[in-house]
Structure 1
Amino acid sequence: EAAILDPQHRKFLEVSWEGLENAGHPPGSFAGDIGVFGGCGMGSYLYFNICSNPALVDDVGMFLLRHTGNDKDFMTTRVSHVFDLTGPSVNVQTACSTSLVAVHAAREALLRGECDMALAGGSTIELPQGRGYLYKENEILSPDGHCHAFDHRAQGTVFGSGAGVVVLRRLKDALADGDHIHAVIRGVAVNNDGASKASYLAPSVDGQAAAVKRALDDAGVKAETIDYVECHGTGTYLGDPIEVAALTEAFRASTDAVGFCKIGSVKTNIGHLDTASGVASLIKVALGLTHKEIPPSLGYEAPNPAIDFETSPFAVADRLSAWVSHKGPRRGGVTSLGVGGTNAHIVLEEAPARAPSDEADWPFQLLTLSARATGALDDGSARLAAYLRAHPEADLADVAWTLKEGRAALPKRRVVVAETPGEAADLLEEGNPRRVFSHDDLGPGVDIAFLLPGGGAQYPNMGRDLYETEPVFAEWMDRGLDYLATKIDTDPRALWLPEPGQEAAAEAALRKPSAQLPLIMILEYALAQLWLSWGVKPAVLIGHSMGENT
């Protein structure tokens, strides 16, 4: 099935999984309904790869090959089926604006209560890959293989391949669950140019301006509060001036200010992704809001002479700059325009400030990783190590929680215990089997044994950290020590938790079996009770010496 599946569908499956994991809600972990909204490009895999293989066509049948494996109508429903997602599953097709219109549809479904979480995006993969093109004058493709959006050299765009998905929730729900929020959708509008343009394929100033104005109205914000707009920005000599003129018309409804809003286009970085281009633009702005930086629009050296920047609200973001808000929260706009006239515009706002996580009770953290294959597990370990290297300020307790609760538990497992991000990165990179433990999932029916040791193991301060951080362990230690205090002449607490400077005397006293053996029994009994409280139940108990009594 995977071999005959259109790569656009397969990549959409992959980024949907990655999106859910990035949101901290891997497939199978979310209690509510999850919707899927998206679209893909023309199924060239069917024509170039499938139909050229008559034996495969005869064996599988054209109906199954075309419909369930390659037709664009089945992309989102396949995701819903594979991941068991029971919300609305809707394929969207508005050409280049498909994925941003999918975000609009997902938002509406969330607000109507049709689902509690939604995936929205698109996927376009050109096949065969890397075939190039012959430039023809007055067509859409660039003569030099570069996209020069808003630049005096703008003569055409360059197409690329890619897929993208965003995960959406109602803001109040995401805040209540402590989700990591990249950005907030304040307003959305989708419309069509109708007949108010030169031809069916031509863009329209009026149609685009109306979409931007409606999105601002939907957001309840003024144009002067928008710091950046990610444009459709195809780098065509005609399209770019029309888009800037439309934005200017929309902004002039509320402000006469000049040059306060930066614009750019991600197509200068990765090309025009067709149905996935809108979600790529959305992701760019969301990341800009997260990092409080405006990325540069590449391939720009001087303005397109057909664009009147001097009297407009806009200037091209030609270099990386800090995203400094001039009026209230940071806000950005995203435009996506489809051939045929379907325009979409979204207003994004920076996420509300999050309260810091509570300080962890325990200095050491258990980091868990899993994958379906050993190679993937190694890749995941390397990515985690690289992240921890790049973010030494990361709260390791938060990292541990996300790895455990926000990732699927797959067959190949790896565990490491560390105190700091740097130590965790070192261990993951070195892979010392004495510190990094890798194993296969043993399944739910595995028996657990408790091995309870005897004399010779006890030393002062054994288990002190557990006593100070784990109430269950402390309760059983106190009960045992209180009872033991009535049976021996020495204070057992003074031996177990000696005052500073008294460790040597306590260690000497613990050499007496009458003091040492009861203490080891109390400690391992308290430890067993702690494990039991966590749901770790033994099928077998093995005791050595005093451990037999335990």
Structure 2
Amino acid sequence: MSAPDAAAIRAWLTARIGDVDPGRPLHETGLSSRDATTLAADLGRFVGRTLAPTLVWQYPTITALADHLSDVDPAAEYVPLPEDGEPIAVVGLGCRLPGGIDSPEAFWRFLDAGGDGIGDVPEGRWETFAPAEDLAGVPARGGFLDDVAGFDAAFFGITPGEAVAMDPQQRILLEVAWAALEHAGIPPSALRGSRTGVFVGLSATEYGSLTMTDVTGVDVWSGTGAAASIAANRLSYLLDLRGPSLTLDTACSSSLVAVHQAVQSLRRGESELALVAGVNVLLSPGITAGFQRAGVLAADGRCKPFDAGADGIARGEGCGVVVLKPLRAARGDRVLAVIRGSAVNSDGRSNGLTAPNPDAQVALLRDAYSAAGVDPSSVDYVEAHGTGTPLGDPLEAGALATVLGAGREPGRPVLLGSVKSNLGHLEGAAGITGLLKVVLAMTHRRLPPSLHFRAPNPHIDFTGLRVVAAGTDWPRYSGTARAGVSAFGFGGTNAHVVLEEWPSFPPRAGDGGPQVFALSARSAEVLRARAGELADWLAEGDLPLDAVAATLAHRREHLPVRGAVVAERRDDVVDALRDLADGRGITGDDPAGAPVFVFSGYGSQWSGMGRELLGSEPAFRAEIDALDPIFRAEAGFSLRDALQRELPDLAATQLTLFGMQLALAALWRAHGVTPAAVLGHSLGEVAAAVVAGALDVASGLKVMAARARLLAEVDARGGGAMAVVELSAAELADFPGVTIAVYASPIQCTISGAADRVDAVVAHAERLGRLARRLPVG
């Protein structure tokens, strides 16, 4: 007996363990060490060989166990081809920022409009740490998120108890990283087991002072919930990512240093894809109070980069994530921009631990542009560290003028800006937020304004420099948009990243015709919300519908609760999605597996069937063209011609229906729908056998032709009839001369026989008030 395949092993494990996510570690379902050992022994008996008792630790999910034990060849090992200086593609963005920003699109609208996200600290935020009287005089203005506590723990399979113990920065990071992968068109499940690196910049660890101070309140989740390292590690764990997983803390440069590390990892071949993030949440008033006493904070709670009135920073919170790939590996992806190079260094022994070093900044810039192979004088724009401090701004501007401003033609200054003017200083997330801004500006070919610049700082020589005080088109001095992003840690770690635009190509319109718009979520409530959002977005946009449908079908995670609409015109798609948003058409997923194809019998045909599909579905048309020569050879007529005219005689109609069923099955498979099983009724049995591979097409057609010929002979003799009646087999035993053709249900049968005998049964059933209907035959 052959060993069970992966599907059989998955079915056995599901029956044994229960209906659980096959990609979720089994210990999360409550499987104990003893249970795991017993499971390995029982599973060994099922597959017919002794298994190690530690098997479940080595292969912790149903999918991993099934693939391992079925001897499935593993995916081809990733063989990196390192190339020094290879551009790194930015293929996805995610963000959650002050001002209600929860998407790259919302961030761009905010930036382009000159949005200001500074506001008061949310009510109750700081009172957890200190009584109200101690907060008197602590500046309460900054860039705050609307909600740092909300978290969809169930979506990630995290228990409520563990979620409470998790630092809000970990929670936010998970949600924004998922959104960034969606923006990239990469289903997270496609990354399982891959060499995907996670690089997170995070410099605040205040949550642990809440959860770890009271020893009596510490539980099993407190340690991982408070640890900074777990921010990156948890993301790698939940998505089963096997590349480097690092949380970096270099203070205000943390997330841009994370970008640098990711670029190096991708170029070395250590990672094949990287998720790079920065996250910062202002939970405690302590750092704010400390900054105030050090004279770091602006009196009005706003950063005013390079302005004469610059008097300090405003603190901010938020999260940004970028998805990176080597450019060669990004074929088929939407490339938003490319990273040409980066550099990191330290101030060394400057004029104080937290004092910047202008010489170090000059060296950093030279290193970065040398690594990128970019002439500094060709750079159009720099997203500066730009904190708006009396000391920092002049030193930074001086370094920029030395390296990027030298040798420029008149009228081609280095343009400067800082997103801190919009959001405040996001500290550990500051660098990634600036990078997000630059990528969005490149894709929109426009530089948004840097706020609060009214008069130039008199301590800055602006020769060769100009602040973007009003939104402007990107100048493209060299013909290609180029920019730098800077971030400087207050302990002296400096980072600079060089970006360049990449040509964008609008999605090509397809062949038209109806499209399937598939949506999914983990709950019906969320699915309805997503349907409504998509409807609004489509109503306002002009992106080709087939591109949207293809992305939803092939570049999204397909979650358990699902809904779909089929439409051709934009207005119809929008209306159908709004119906879905109202709760109509939502279904639950059967986690047991794939769909089943059911092939009907004679009688399901209609005049004109297949004609629209021939015109609108290339896969259907290709299958008909492939079947046509076989039909000509075995049946003596053209299948394509039969579908394009009125249906022929009984025999040819049956064969045409058979061909139609084979082409429909091929169409579904072309769209990625593969059946777990096939069923057929009457002539559909033959189509099912062909689709399952039990018969080839020519053999199936011979069976069908012989069947059709015999039925045609019966039809030619006349006198026969068929009917469906709501009578049981026992009741039909009283009517000799009538044969049960189909046992449709315990109380319904399809009968055949001489016309008068069939009519007698129909009349009997009608007298009883039951269903009775003669079927058209011939």
Interval of TM-score (by shorter of Structure 1 and Structure 2): 0.7 to 0.9
Determine the structure 2 residue equivalent to 1:159.
Answer: 315
SS state of the match for residue 304, structure 2? coil
**Is 1:379 aligned to residue 540 of structure 2?**
no
* Residue 528 (structure 1) shift: 4.3
SS state of the match for residue 547, structure 2? helix
Determine the structure 2 residue equivalent to 1:38.
Answer: 200
Closer, same or farther: CA 532–226 of 1 in aligned 2, 3 Å: closer
Once the two structures are superposed, the pairs formed by residues 350-429 of structure 1 within 5 Å of their partners are 350-354=501-505, 360-361=510-511, 363-392=513-542, 394-429=543-578
Contact 2:599 / 2:661 at 8 angstroms: preserved in 1?
Answer: no
SS state of the match for residue 587, structure 2? strand
Contact 1:149 / 1:236 at 8 angstroms: preserved in 2?
Answer: yes
**Is 1:279 aligned to residue 432 of structure 2?**
yes
C-alpha distance in structure 2 between counterparts of 1:407 and 1:447, whole Å: 19
Matched letter for residue 464 of structure 1: R
Determine the structure 2 residue equivalent to 1:250.
Answer: 403
C-alpha distance in structure 2 between counterparts of 1:228 and 1:198, whole Å: 29
C-alpha distance in structure 2 between counterparts of 1:419 and 1:126, whole Å: 48
C-alpha distance in structure 2 between counterparts of 1:172 and 1:296, whole Å: 34
SS state of the match for residue 487, structure 2? strand
Determine the structure 1 residue equivalent to 2:474.
Answer: 323
Once the two structures are superposed, the pairs formed by residues 15-54 of structure 1 within 5 Å of their partners are 15-30=176-191, 32-48=194-210, 50-51=211-212, 54=215
Contact 1:447 / 1:539 at 8 angstroms: preserved in 2?
Answer: no
Contact 2:316 / 2:425 at 8 angstroms: preserved in 1?
Answer: yes
Contact 1:492 / 1:515 at 8 angstroms: preserved in 2?
Answer: no
TM-score (norm 1): 0.85
* Residue 47 (structure 1) shift: 1.4
SS state of the match for residue 169, structure 1? strand
* Residue 524 (structure 1) shift: 3.6
Matched letter for residue 484 of structure 2: G
Closer, same or farther: CA 430–437 of 1 in aligned 2, 3 Å: closer
Bigger Cα Rg? 2
Contact 1:455 / 1:545 at 8 angstroms: preserved in 2?
Answer: no
Contact 2:594 / 2:676 at 8 angstroms: preserved in 1?
Answer: no
C-alpha distance in structure 1 between counterparts of 2:491 and 2:521, whole Å: 43
Per-residue Cα deviation, 1:340-380 (whole angstroms, up to 9, x for no partner): 111111110001344x6665345222222211222222232
Determine the structure 1 residue equivalent to 2:739.
Answer: none
Contact 1:455 / 1:513 at 8 angstroms: preserved in 2?
Answer: no
Closer, same or farther: CA 442–43 of 1 in aligned 2, 3 Å: same
Contact 1:188 / 1:344 at 8 angstroms: preserved in 2?
Answer: yes
Once the two structures are superposed, the pairs formed by residues 442-457 of structure 1 within 5 Å of their partners are 442-445=590-593, 448-452=596-600, 454-455=602-603, 457=605
**Is 1:333 aligned to residue 333 of structure 2?**
no
Select which of 406, 411, 430 maps to 2:579. Answer: 430
Matched letter for residue 255 of structure 1: R
Determine the structure 1 residue equivalent to 2:664.
Answer: 527
SS state of the match for residue 25, structure 1? coil
Matched letter for residue 236 of structure 2: S
Contact 2:595 / 2:675 at 8 angstroms: preserved in 1?
Answer: no
Determine the structure 1 residue equivalent to 2:746.
Answer: none
Contact 1:222 / 1:254 at 8 angstroms: preserved in 2?
Answer: no
Select which of 194, 212, 217 maps to 1:56. Answer: 217
Select which of 674, 681, 689 maps to 1:542. Answer: 681
Determine the structure 1 residue equivalent to 2:712.
Answer: none
Determine the structure 2 residue equivalent to 1:86.
Answer: 242
Determine the structure 2 residue equivalent to 1:209.
Answer: 362
Determine the structure 2 residue equivalent to 1:476.
Answer: 627
Q: What's the C-alpha RMSD, in Å, of the aligned pairs? A: 3.2
* Residue 397 (structure 1) shift: 2.5
Closer, same or farther: CA 236–242 of 1 in aligned 2, 3 Å: same
Determine the structure 2 residue equivalent to 1:69.
Answer: 225
Determine the structure 1 residue equivalent to 2:25.
Answer: none
Matched letter for residue 523 of structure 1: M
Determine the structure 1 residue equivalent to 2:346.
Answer: 192
Determine the structure 2 residue equivalent to 1:109.
Answer: 265
Contact 2:412 / 2:477 at 8 angstroms: preserved in 1?
Answer: no
More deviation, 211-220/416-425: 416-425
C-alpha distance in structure 1 between counterparts of 2:545 and 2:376, whole Å: 41
C-alpha distance in structure 1 between counterparts of 2:214 and 2:180, whole Å: 34
Matched letter for residue 465 of structure 1: E
* Residue 79 (structure 1) shift: 1.4
SS state of the match for residue 95, structure 1? coil
Contact 2:624 / 2:639 at 8 angstroms: preserved in 1?
Answer: no
C-alpha distance in structure 2 between counterparts of 1:153 and 1:86, whole Å: 49
**Is 1:262 aligned to residue 415 of structure 2?**
yes
Unmatched tracts of structure 2, length 5 or more: 1-161, 688-706, 709-778
Per-residue Cα deviation, 1:29-88 (whole angstroms, up to 9, x for no partner): 13741011113132211213x14655422xx16xx523x221212221221111111111
Contact 1:455 / 1:520 at 8 angstroms: preserved in 2?
Answer: no
C-alpha distance in structure 2 between counterparts of 1:247 and 1:226, whole Å: 11
More deviation, 421-430/118-127: 421-430
Determine the structure 1 residue equivalent to 2:464.
Answer: 313
Matched letter for residue 364 of structure 1: P
* Residue 385 (structure 1) shift: 2.5
SS state of the match for residue 235, structure 1? coil
* Residue 334 (structure 1) shift: 0.4
Contact 1:75 / 1:91 at 8 angstroms: preserved in 2?
Answer: yes
Determine the structure 2 residue equivalent to 1:502.
Answer: none
Determine the structure 2 residue equivalent to 1:501.
Answer: none
C-alpha distance in structure 2 between counterparts of 1:450 and 1:413, whole Å: 21
TM-score (norm 2): 0.62
C-alpha distance in structure 2 between counterparts of 1:163 and 1:333, whole Å: 20
Determine the structure 1 residue equivalent to 2:441.
Answer: 288
Determine the structure 2 residue equivalent to 1:346.
Answer: 497
C-alpha distance in structure 2 between counterparts of 1:291 and 1:358, whole Å: 19
SS state of the match for residue 681, structure 2? strand
Contact 1:458 / 1:520 at 8 angstroms: preserved in 2?
Answer: no
More deviation, 17-26/265-274: 17-26
SS state of the match for residue 156, structure 1? coil
Contact 1:449 / 1:542 at 8 angstroms: preserved in 2?
Answer: no
Counting matched residue pairs gives 521
* Residue 109 (structure 1) shift: 0.8
Per-residue Cα deviation, 1:511-546 (whole angstroms, up to 9, x for no partner): 976775654454345434655675336443235999
Contact 1:455 / 1:546 at 8 angstroms: preserved in 2?
Answer: no
Matched letter for residue 627 of structure 2: W
SS state of the match for residue 69, structure 1? helix
C-alpha distance in structure 1 between counterparts of 2:437 and 2:405, whole Å: 25
C-alpha distance in structure 1 between counterparts of 2:437 and 2:373, whole Å: 23
C-alpha distance in structure 1 between counterparts of 2:642 and 2:236, whole Å: 61
Contact 1:13 / 1:79 at 8 angstroms: preserved in 2?
Answer: yes
Matched letter for residue 88 of structure 1: P
* Residue 402 (structure 1) shift: 2.1
SS state of the match for residue 15, structure 1? helix
* Residue 16 (structure 1) shift: 1.9
Contact 1:39 / 1:75 at 8 angstroms: preserved in 2?
Answer: no
Matched letter for residue 429 of structure 1: R
Contact 2:266 / 2:325 at 8 angstroms: preserved in 1?
Answer: yes
